[in-house]
Structure 1
Amino acid sequence: MNLKDKICIVTGAASGIGREIALRYARAGAKVAIADLKLSAAQAVADECIAGGAEAMAVMMDVSSELQVRSAIDEVAHAWGGVDVLVSNAGIQIVHPIAEYPYAEWKKMLAIHLDGAFLTTQAAWPHMLKRGGGSVIYMGSVHSKEASLLKSAYVTAKHGLIGLSKVVAKEGGPHGIRANVICPGFVRTPLVDKQIPEQAKALGISEADVVKNVMLKETVDGEFTTVDDVADVALMLASFRSNALTGQSVVVSHGWSMQ
């Protein structure tokens, strides 16, 4: 699988899953735009891509801002001639019981995960049309299909991405635009590390119990999913050659969720 000369935008790509996807795309021959709130960190990832022989650029993007999203995606498209692949990966985590979930934080979660996916898709759409098609990849979660305590906003947003991808697949199909969702299990990133003490406190259990009996309890081998696992799937979805694979959700979770 290769992405030679494909123009790819990965949001939330300064760290974690997004960073690994960006690096994997660069190694596959793509031109990669690293989009993130933290421009200096995004530039560091772009520099890694360039050091490996790829073309890369960093753009600042708050995915909940329509103006920033459009400006950043237009900047990439004008620099390189369009957009072929969009990975909507930017996300955060905030956990509270429903009865105590601040409405402002609920709105923030949906704005970043769900509004961000919509806004980036809408902004990339005309540039994909000009290129004769493209691939839109949303970073969902096992929580796109399952539910966990304390994660009402996250679960709601991740479920919503599956619905959005199906509509994008329907509307994009005649134009060669595909849309799919990657649904990882728990990946040991800073985002997940932050949750461990938070959930331990909220559930009144030890951090070790959070890992063993909450996060990894339903896996087949008690292992975390890795950023490499997710990047492998992101490369496959980006490089797939036809509409045969569109409107789908691919679970990468060590068997936590089976379909």
Structure 2
Amino acid sequence: MQGSLPVLTDKTAIVTGAASGIGREIARQFFDAGARVAIADLNIDGANAVAAEFDPSGARAMGVAMDVTSEAAVDAGIDAVAQRFGGIDILVSNAGIQIVAPVENFAFADWQKMLAIHLDGAFLTTRACLRHMYAQGRGGSILYMGSVHSKEASVLKAAYVTAKHGLLGLARVVAKEGAAHGVRTNVICPGFVRTPLVDKQIPEQAAKLGISEEDVIKNVMLKATVDGEFTTVDDVARTALFLAAFPTNALTGQSIIVSHGWFME
């Protein structure tokens, strides 16, 4: 143990969308727990800055440019990480965006963009990492960043809800296929986390619903929580660390809800 954290010493983790927000905090906690960490992001300057902040020596952290919707970019980026750090042990498929609109006005291009980033990105990064994990023969852990919207729907979020539901299916298939190779997969399902992604949604939903921003927070986003609190990036990162370090197939193909009681099952 490193303090109260599970040890990830000698493990290599790739976290997508890790230049900011939830991904950045997951990468930081993985790094603090001893892992070598690849900060994968469309924003390569941001990714390199985070890697340099974590480890100025570059021995255990690197930035990698990655458009998760591009097969070539994903394969090249993950191969580069495996070559630099000697393999892949953990993938956190976290990259995502949000576009809100009612279904009747939802642009098809926006629908395709949402599904490409959330679902195509999860598939492409999973496939590339599995090839390394299987060849290495030492197992691995794949974590998908789902949402409470993997479990239930909200208005204005047709593409997001569809994509987050889809991650449950992908994770369950990979859990069954990966078990023989010691590869586990799980989905983390956060509630609303106060990140730039959510901050952007507040005025957008206020305008579309005709209510105040305060009402969006209190009566839309946090209405169903037990304490009226946002989930934090620390809450989500601690859950990711626990799942990444879990040692057996006893915990695979599962979805873990981190939402202050917004959704319970």
TM-score tier after normalising by the smaller chain length: over 0.9
Question: Residues 213-252 of structure 1, C-alpha deviation per residue, up to 9 Å, x if partnerless?
Answer: 0000000000000000000000001000000000000000
In structure 2, what residue type is equivalent to 1:93? Answer: Q
**Pairing partner for 2:149 from 134, 143, 151:** 143
Q: Which residue of 2 aligns with 1:29?
A: 34
Output the CA distance in 2 between the equivalents of 1:56 and 1:20. Answer: 14
Q: Which residue of 1 aligns with 2:103?
A: 98
- CA drift of 1:5 comes to 1.4
Q: Which residue of 2 aligns with 1:249?
A: 255
Matches within 5 A, 1:88-167: 88-131=93-136, 132-167=138-173
**Equivalent residue pairs, number:** 259
Question: Residues 190-224 of structure 1, C-alpha deviation per residue, up to 9 Å, x if partnerless?
Answer: 00000000000000000000000000000000000
1:212 aligns with 2:203: no
Any conservation in 2 of the 1:82–1:130 contact (CA below 8 Å)? no
Q: Which moved more, 1:39-48 or 1:245-254?
A: 39-48
In structure 2, runs of 5+ residues without a counterpart are: 1-5
- CA drift of 1:54 comes to 6.4
Task: Name the SS for the 1:179 alignment partner.
Answer: strand
1:6 aligns with 2:11: yes
Matches within 5 A, 1:190-209: 190-209=196-215
Task: Name the SS for the 1:67 alignment partner.
Answer: helix
Q: Please, what is the CA RMSD of the aligned residues?
A: 1.0
Any conservation in 1 of the 2:51–2:58 contact (CA below 8 Å)? no
Output the CA distance in 1 between the equivalents of 2:188 and 2:165. Answer: 12
Question: Residues 1-50 of structure 1, C-alpha deviation per residue, up to 9 Å, x if partnerless?
Answer: 11001000000000000000000000000000000000010011101210
- CA 52–151 in structure 1, closer or farther in 2 if over 3 Å, else same: farther
Any conservation in 2 of the 1:180–1:247 contact (CA below 8 Å)? yes
Question: Which stretches of structure 1, 4 residues or more, deviate above 3 A after TM superposition?
Answer: 51-54
Q: Which residue of 2 aligns with 1:68?
A: 73
Output the CA distance in 2 between the equivalents of 1:189 and 1:66. Answer: 28
Any conservation in 1 of the 2:52–2:58 contact (CA below 8 Å)? no
Task: Name the SS for the 1:82 alignment partner.
Answer: coil
- CA drift of 1:57 comes to 0.4
In structure 1, what residue type is equivalent to 2:150? Answer: S
In structure 2, what residue type is equivalent to 1:226? Answer: T
- CA drift of 1:51 comes to 4.5
In structure 2, what residue type is equivalent to 1:86? Answer: L
In structure 2, what residue type is equivalent to 1:153? Answer: A
Any conservation in 2 of the 1:6–1:30 contact (CA below 8 Å)? yes
Task: Name the SS for the 2:55 alignment partner.
Answer: helix
Output the CA distance in 2 between the equivalents of 1:255 and 1:208. Answer: 20
Q: Which residue of 2 aligns with 1:182?
A: 188
Any conservation in 1 of the 2:90–2:244 contact (CA below 8 Å)? yes
- CA drift of 1:59 comes to 0.3
- CA 52–141 in structure 1, closer or farther in 2 if over 3 Å, else same: farther
1:82 aligns with 2:87: yes
**Pairing partner for 2:25 from 7, 15, 20:** 20
Q: Which residue of 1 aligns with 2:3?
A: none
Any conservation in 2 of the 1:26–1:54 contact (CA below 8 Å)? no
In structure 1, runs of 5+ residues without a counterpart are: none
- CA 26–54 in structure 1, closer or farther in 2 if over 3 Å, else same: farther
Any conservation in 2 of the 1:29–1:54 contact (CA below 8 Å)? no
Task: Name the SS for the 1:235 alignment partner.
Answer: helix
- CA drift of 1:130 comes to 2.5
